[in-house]
Chains A and B, each alone.
Chain A
Amino acid sequence: MAGGYYSIEQVFHIKAGDFASAGEASSQIKKTLKQLGIDSTLVRRVTIAAYEAEMNLIIHSIGGELKLKVTPQSIIVTAEDKGPGIPDIDLAMQEGYSTAPEIARELGFGAGMGLPNIKRNADRLNIQSKVGEGTLLEIYFDIKAR
């Protein structure tokens, strides 16, 4: 498997409450994946998940990083922030559960479908969170050999 360990990474800094730039990182991720020739259905799944992760950083966190990593076999999107953390992950994963503030709701966010949507689109999902420390979301996708 020549080049099996080859990988590229793109990092996006996401500011808390920055609704003006909302969706820019995930749309860049979409463009990158299309240029890499990734199958269009997979591009769609990754973009949807990346968008939800990006929005959660903007709405719920104090700001953080969204990262795309591509290898010939996989795509990994990571969202990492330094707080405030999720007290009950199982609860947060439930459809319709949301603590989105009024300002986000006014903009049409806060349906509580983000995390479930990420899970639905991902091949594997890893969430770690500690109140006061932050949240790490690792979203894995397999690139299937054609």
Chain B
Amino acid sequence: MKLKEYYHSVTLRKDKCRGCTNCIKRCPTEAIRVRDGKARIIAERCIDCGECIRVCPYHAKVAVTDPLSSIERFRYRIALPAPTLYGQFKNVDDIKVILTGLKKLGFDYVYEVARGADYVTAFVKEALKDPNRKRPIISSACPAIVRLIQVRFPELIDNIVNVDSPMEIAAQLARNEFCERYGVKSEEVGVFFITPCAAKMTSIRNPVGRKESSVDGAISIQEIYGPLYSQISNLKEEDVAQMASPFGVGWANSGGACLSLGIDSYLAVDGIQNVIRVLEEIEDEKLTDLEYFEGLACPGGCVGGPLTVENGFVAKNRIRKLSEKARGRPVSEDELREVAQKIQWRLDEKILPKPVMKLDDDIVEAMKKMETIESIYESLPGLDCGSCGSPSCRTLAEDIVRGYASEMDCVFKLREKVKQLAQEMIELSEKIPGGRKETEGQE
């Protein structure tokens, strides 16, 4: 249980880390410190958004995902391509080409997560009809944002729509379909998500809102890009049907989910810092009349995911063009009712707050710590230079009080101390009889 709770896809490659301040400054949950010259991730705080992967100039932050060879563990393999995958390839003007390429790579069945998104859209439309739900209803699609809410915005947990992500819904539908069609046992089938990000990998190992994921592993787009590219280049004909609707494919782009809902009063925000700013306003009830909020951690949406290959802006445009040609229809009410019986589409488990910013469980203790933090902070230079390994002077003060750092980690404090020591040395040497003479003699 403990292990599971702290599983993270985002990890540090210690050998590559040079101990600079790039990642500590950008982490949205202040989860990284540099100690002893190397970055460290505070597991309870990390939300696997992948900001540090993006900003590290030495590629020392990586996402652990499964190698392509891991599909061999299973007799039958299903690929679940994120719609983002479609935008990665030049000169591909039909999604079918990519789906067929995946089959040639050794998958027995391919099911589009974009089709899963079509179902999610239909379920969320139902949820929007319920006037008793807290507004705005917040999308559950980006696992980094769900975790961000647990850590920084617990008051908004009840706003998260209780419909699971396109990936989980697609996984169950794919498995059911495949097992039924070919008379295969579920244990023999491995379902693999082709992922643009670390957050999805983490949500497979350690889901929020459901007990266990229906997905068996995640292969990054970066890992599969090369092999898939060669398959696509040599393809003679396409034999996989394309099922997702234009709307489902559009989920790869920020705002795609909102567009599929066909509502007026929505807000789609991408980039984790932007999402934080808007969540603050939602929490303070400054954005009233908002029906639906889609927040995606990556710039531009999943097309900007840290494990993608193509430039996010280029990919975004391709997704737009490919989605226009998508053949699938939106999910009908009958179809939805049928599917709702067969799969676990709700987030059944309670999403719990993770108040890691809290200083102490006991309020008096927390108050005492707060006061100490204030007085330490007053004594620091206020430059937020990051040399101490904490993202700002205030966080250093917090770290000192939490017992993770000392005042001498501040280079300015250290310099002061050294100066003072040097002064004491001089004073001391002056007191030693003959000490002064000796130095004079040497000159």
A and B associate in one complex? yes
Q: Which of A2-10, A95-103, A131-139 contacts B (4 or more CB under 8 A)?
A: A2-10
- What chain B residues lie within 8 Å of A8 (beta carbons)? 367, 370-371
Q: Please, how many residues of chain B have a CB less than 8 angstroms from a CB on the other chain?
A: 20
Of B283, B284, B353, B370, the residue contacting A36 (CB under 8 A) is: B370
Q: Which of A13-21, A44-52, A56-64, A80-88 contacts B (4 or more CB under 8 A)?
A: A44-52
Contact in complex: A6, B368 (CB < 8 Å): yes
- Known contacts: A48-B284, A72-B363, A143-B363. The answer to whether A40 contacts B353 by CB under 8 A is yes
- What chain B residues lie within 8 Å of A38 (beta carbons)? 363
A51–B363 Cα gap in the complex (Å)?
Answer: 23
A43 interfacial by beta-carbon distance below 8 Å:
yes
A31–B355 Cα gap in the complex (Å)?
Answer: 12
| B352-383, CB < 8 A from A | 353, 355, 357-361, 363-364, 366-368, 370-371
| A24-54, CB < 8 A from B | 26-27, 30-32, 34-38, 40-41, 43-44, 47-48, 51
B72 interfacial by beta-carbon distance below 8 Å:
no
- What chain B residues lie within 8 Å of A7 (beta carbons)? 367
Q: Which residue of A is nearest B280, CB measured?
A: A27
A70 interfacial by beta-carbon distance below 8 Å:
yes
B271 interfacial by beta-carbon distance below 8 Å:
no
Q: How many A-B pairs fall under 8 Å by CB?
A: 56
B155 interfacial by beta-carbon distance below 8 Å:
yes
Contact in complex: A37, B370 (CB < 8 Å): no
Of A27, A40, A47, A143, the residue contacting B154 (CB under 8 A) is: A40
Contact in complex: A34, B367 (CB < 8 Å): no
- What chain A residues lie within 8 Å of B353 (beta carbons)? 40
Q: Please, how many residues of chain A have a CB less than 8 angstroms from a CB on the other chain?
A: 25
- Secondary structure class of chain A's binding surface, majority of residues: helix
| B142-160, CB < 8 A from A | 154-155
- What chain B residues lie within 8 Å of A43 (beta carbons)? 155
Q: Which residue of B is nearest A51, CB measured?
A: B284
- Known contacts: A35-B357, A40-B154. The answer to whether A6 contacts B364 by CB under 8 A is yes
- Known contacts: A40-B154, A44-B284, A44-B285. The answer to whether A34 contacts B363 by CB under 8 A is no
Q: Which residue of A is nearest B152, CB measured?
A: A34
- What chain B residues lie within 8 Å of A143 (beta carbons)? 363
Of A2, A26, A35, the residue contacting B359 (CB under 8 A) is: A35
Q: Which residue of B is nearest A23, CB measured?
A: B284
Q: How far in angstroms is the closest Cβ of chain A from B157?
A: 9
Contact in complex: B366, A36 (CB < 8 Å): yes
Task: List 13 extra interface pairs beyond A26-B284, A37-B366, CB under 8 A.
Answer: A6-B368, A32-B370, A34-B358, A35-B357, A36-B363, A37-B355, A37-B358, A38-B363, A40-B355, A44-B155, A44-B283, A44-B285, A48-B285
